[in-house]
Amino acid sequence: MSLYEADWQEKRTGERHRTLMTGRVYFRSGRSSLDCQVRNISLSGACLKGPGVTDLPDHFRLEIPARDRIYDCQIRWRLNDTIGIQFRSPDATSHRADVSAMERIAVLEYENKSLRQRIKELSERLAEFGVSTESL
């Protein structure tokens, strides 16, 4: 970890939750877009990774389909193929506790959906070998 990365981590105001969600960045007034991975997220920001993300303008919009949300964003740092962003939301601090709980619920719902899909896939694979998963 570089000194720059360590210094940035100390400035974080919210707990980040690791994730692997797909995002789409919109810039140039929506005329251009770029796919990315959301590697972690919090109430106040996120870490995005992918080809071309470090070339993005300082301000853009981020859509996270799994959360059915679009965020106005500002880049806080750039490193290799990764950027740290801050969500620009004027009402985020006024309802911080409610939003934090809602954000955590959204993360848990996404994880729950992913785990259910994985269980289904594994059950189907077990069924191919004649193993029943009904008693599990």
CATH at residue 11: 2.40.10.430
Which DSSP letter does residue 13 get?
Answer: -
Residue 71 lies in a domain: yes
Residue 118 resides in a domain? yes
CB 50, CB 35: distance < 8 Å: yes
Query: What domain range includes position 106?
Result: 3-128
Query: Is position 136 within any domain?
Result: no
- Residue-wise pLDDT for 84-114, tens only, equals 999 986 544 334 444 556 666 766 777 788 7
Q: In angstroms, what CA-CA distances link 7 with 3, 25, 34?
A: 6, 26, 28
Can you give the pLDDT at residue 130?
A: 86
CA dist 15 → 44, 45, 66, 113 (Å): 9, 10, 20, 22
Instruction: Among 76-80, 96-100, 132-136, name the one with the lowest average pLDDT.
Output: 96-100
